[in-house]
């Protein structure tokens, strides 16, 4: 019989994975319990894992977290023998009672009974349906690194990633700074470490990475490992290009005031883009889209490119200013069309326009029941319509939804789920507004019965 498997550990830094049959927690009711101490005191917030002795990679592991008195209970165990481990981790671990995290435990990893490696662990016997009590452990306190990270001239200082790497450059512990910029890396053994500090993820505007070499002694805190990080800004927007065919690729380049390229994207064509971690200053952008026709179709290779906005050279490109911590959005372009003459046919074609709005749905509904209306919105203009919002008002009906953007020359179908609250004849007004494409309205009359 094949069992459904599920991942029960979600890692933040160090990755711990345990795969078990989905029915296991309900079927296995054995447990192991005990109390943990450090230097004669209760050891709270320590992770405990119990792994079947025949399992060499941890697929059968169950987890628990010690409480404020150092007490723990590992549940969901079948009859068998288990290796117990006690440790500090930056992972979030799923248990039968919910997620646990033990990043504040600050103990050195130890196996029962006072062993440094799993092969030497004393096995603990369990019988399904019974608890094996008094499996206690006296643990050694780990070392730690702490400090404060400041960002830019005025923050924010929170949410910066800090990672401890061992001498092989393996990341052994990760955390994030709190709102004040403070952090602590715990559960470290005696040795040398590299502390790496950088923004978390591509969306962060924290610039660069700081690496600080430190020595840690188990049982002590290496304090004052501080850092200051520069804070940049971002530029983002939308790209549209008429008559795209085949497989398309977009290339975007960012140049600083001296004309040097400081960032670039080269990806399959997407309507949206964003550059982060740009130092405060003035930038010029170049956009390019190339398309390759379908094989054997006879379609030509097409190429469209320009500098922002509608310029042919870097020198004439419209500059974009970025301040510290600023997200400059709305730097939108439509390639291959001239917007330099707003009153000309070219300028008119370049504009976005909500040109059509159609609504279809039932003519009758009972009060309080769901009424589903199919709304089709068409952008008949030559550029992307942004900030599109749908509102519906009428007798007993109030509805609003943000729809985002609609590509040039395209329609978007949206399902509006209404719930009339008053019986009688209801005149509904469907109104679509866009930040750059105008507005359009349509009306429907429905009968609402009790």
The answer on 430 and 336 residing in a single domain is: no
Q: Which residue has the higher pLDDT, 118 or 14?
A: 118
The answer on 153 and 262 residing in a single domain is: no
Residue 24 has pLDDT above 60, yes or no: no
In a domain, 47, yes or no: yes
Contact 373, 416 (CB under 8 A): yes
* Length, in residues, of the chain: 450
The answer on 309 and 288 residing in a single domain is: yes
Q: What ranges in 76-234 are assigned the alpha helix state H?
A: none
The answer on 180 and 125 residing in a single domain is: no
Least confident of 18-22, 136-140, 167-171, 364-368: 18-22
Per-residue pLDDT band at 344 (split at 50, 70, 90) = very low
- Token pair in block for residue 39: 């230097």
pLDDT value of residue 336: 61
Q: What is the pLDDT of residues 350-373, one digit of tens each?
A: 578 899 999 999 999 999 898 999
In three-state secondary structure terms, 12 is coil
Among residues 199, 229, 259, the one where a domain terminates is 229
pLDDT value of residue 348: 40
Q: Which residue has the higher pLDDT, 423 or 7?
A: 423
Number of separate helices (H) and strands (E) present in the chain: 2, 40
User: What's the rounded mean pLDDT across residues 56-74?
Assistant: 90
Per residue in 391-427, is it b (16+ CB within 10 Å) or e — as a string?
A: bbebebbebeeebebbbbeeebeeebebebeeeeebe
- Token pair in block for residue 430: 């469907």
Residue-number span of the structural domain to which 280 is assigned = 233-340
In a domain, 442, yes or no: yes
In a domain, 112, yes or no: yes
Q: What is the pLDDT of residues 281-339, one digit of tens each?
A: 999 999 988 887 665 555 556 677 889 988 889 999 999 999 999 999 989 988 764 44
The answer on 133 and 15 residing in a single domain is: yes
Contact 166, 174 (CB under 8 A): no
Nearest to residue 239, comparing CAs of 370, 321, 331, 118?
A: 331
Q: What is the CATH number of the domain that holds 189?
A: 2.60.40.10
The answer on 148 and 134 residing in a single domain is: no
- Token pair in block for residue 326: 């600023």
Residue 14 has pLDDT above 90, yes or no: no
Per residue in 140-160, is it b (16+ CB within 10 Å) or e — as a string?
A: ebbbbbbbbbbbbeeeebebb
Q: Is the peptide bond before 431 cis (omega within 30 degrees of 0)?
A: no
Pairing of strands 424-434, 438-449: antiparallel
Percent of the chain with pLDDT over 70: 88
- Token pair in block for residue 443: 């009306």
The pTM of the full predicted model, rounded to 2 decimals, is 0.66
Per residue in 185-198, is it b (16+ CB within 10 Å) or e — as a string?
A: bbbbbeeebebbbb
The answer on 188 and 154 residing in a single domain is: yes
Residue 19 has pLDDT above 60, yes or no: no
pLDDT value of residue 352: 82
In three-state secondary structure terms, 32 is strand
Q: In sequence order, what DSSP letters do the residues of 411-433 get, joined into one string? A: EEEEEEEE---S-EEEEEEEEEE
Among residues 139, 157, 190, the one where a domain terminates is 139
pLDDT value of residue 205: 95
In a domain, 345, yes or no: no
pLDDT value of residue 26: 54
Among residues 229, 261, 282, the one where a domain terminates is 229
In a domain, 347, yes or no: no
In a domain, 121, yes or no: yes
Q: What is the pLDDT of residues 372-421, one digit of tens each?
A: 999 999 988 877 788 889 999 999 999 998 887 787 778 888 889 899 99
Count how many Cα atoms sit within 13 Å of the Cα of residue 277 in the half-sphere of its side chain.
15
- What total number of domains does the chain contain? 4
In three-state secondary structure terms, 26 is helix
**DSSP run (H or E) holding 38:** strand 30-38
Q: How far apart are CA 175 and CA 212, in angstroms?
A: 15
The answer on 115 and 13 residing in a single domain is: yes
The answer on 161 and 129 residing in a single domain is: no
The answer on 244 and 279 residing in a single domain is: yes
Give the 3-state DSSP-derived string for 198-214, with helices as H, strands as E and coil as C.
Answer: EECCCCCCECCEEEEEE
Q: How far apart are CA 89 and CA 85, in angstroms?
A: 12
In a domain, 348, yes or no: no
């Amino acid at each position: 019989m094949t069992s459904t498997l599920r991942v029960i550990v979600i890692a933040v830094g160090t990755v711990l994975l345990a795969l078990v049959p989905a029915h296991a927690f309900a079927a296995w009711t054995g447990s192991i319990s005990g109390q943990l101490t450090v230097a004669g005191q209760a050891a709270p917030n320590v992770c405990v894992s119990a792994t079947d002795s025949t399992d060499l990679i941890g697929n059968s592991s169950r987890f628990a977290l010690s409480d404020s008195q150092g007490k723990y209970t590992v549940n969901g165990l079948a009859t068998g023998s288990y290796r117990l481990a006690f440790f500090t981790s930056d992972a979030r671990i799923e248990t039968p009672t919910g997620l646990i995290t033990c990043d504040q435990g600050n103990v050195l990893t130890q196996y029962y009974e006072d062993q440094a490696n799993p092969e030497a662990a004393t096995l603990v016997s369990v019988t399904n349906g019974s608890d094996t009590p008094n499996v206690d452990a006296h643990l050694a306190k780990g070392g730690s690194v702490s400090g404060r990270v400041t960002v830019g001239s005025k923050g924010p200082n929170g949410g910066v990633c800090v990672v401890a790497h061992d001498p092989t450059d393996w990341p052994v512990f990760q955390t994030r700074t709190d709102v004040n910029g403070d952090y602590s890396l715990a559960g470290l053994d005696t040795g040398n470490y590299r502390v790496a500090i950088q923004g978390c993820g591509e969306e962060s505007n924290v610039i660069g990475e700081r690496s600080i070499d430190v020595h840690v002694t188990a049982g002590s805190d290496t304090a004052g490992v501080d850092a200051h990080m520069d804070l940049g800004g971002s530029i983002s927007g939308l790209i549209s290009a008429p008559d795209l065919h085949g497989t398309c690729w977009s290339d975007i380049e960012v140049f600083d005031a001296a004309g040097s390229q400081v960032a670039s994207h080269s990806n399959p064509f997407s309507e949206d883009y964003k550059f982060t971690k740009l130092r405060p200053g003035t930038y010029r952008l170049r956009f390019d889209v190339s398309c390759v026709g379908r094989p054997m179709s006879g379609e030509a290779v097409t190429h469209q490119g320009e500098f922002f906005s509608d310029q042919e050279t870097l020198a004439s490109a419209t500059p974009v200013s970025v301040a510290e911590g600023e997200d400059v959005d709305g730097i939108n372009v439509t390639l291959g069309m001239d917007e330099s003459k707003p009153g000309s046919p070219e300028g008119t074609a370049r504009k976005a326009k909500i040109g059509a709005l159609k609504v279809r749905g039932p003519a009758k509904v009972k009060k309080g029941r769901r009424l589903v209306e199919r709304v089709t919105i068409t952008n008949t203009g030559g550029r992307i319509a942004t900030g599109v919002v749908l509102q519906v008002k009428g007798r007993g009906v109030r509805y609003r939804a943000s729809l985002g953007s609609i590509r040039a020359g395209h329609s978007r179908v949206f399902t509006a789920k209404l719930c009339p609250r008053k019986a009688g004849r209801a005149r509904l007004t469907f109104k679509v507004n866009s930040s750059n494409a105008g507005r359009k309205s349509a009306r429907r009359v429905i009968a609402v019965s009790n």
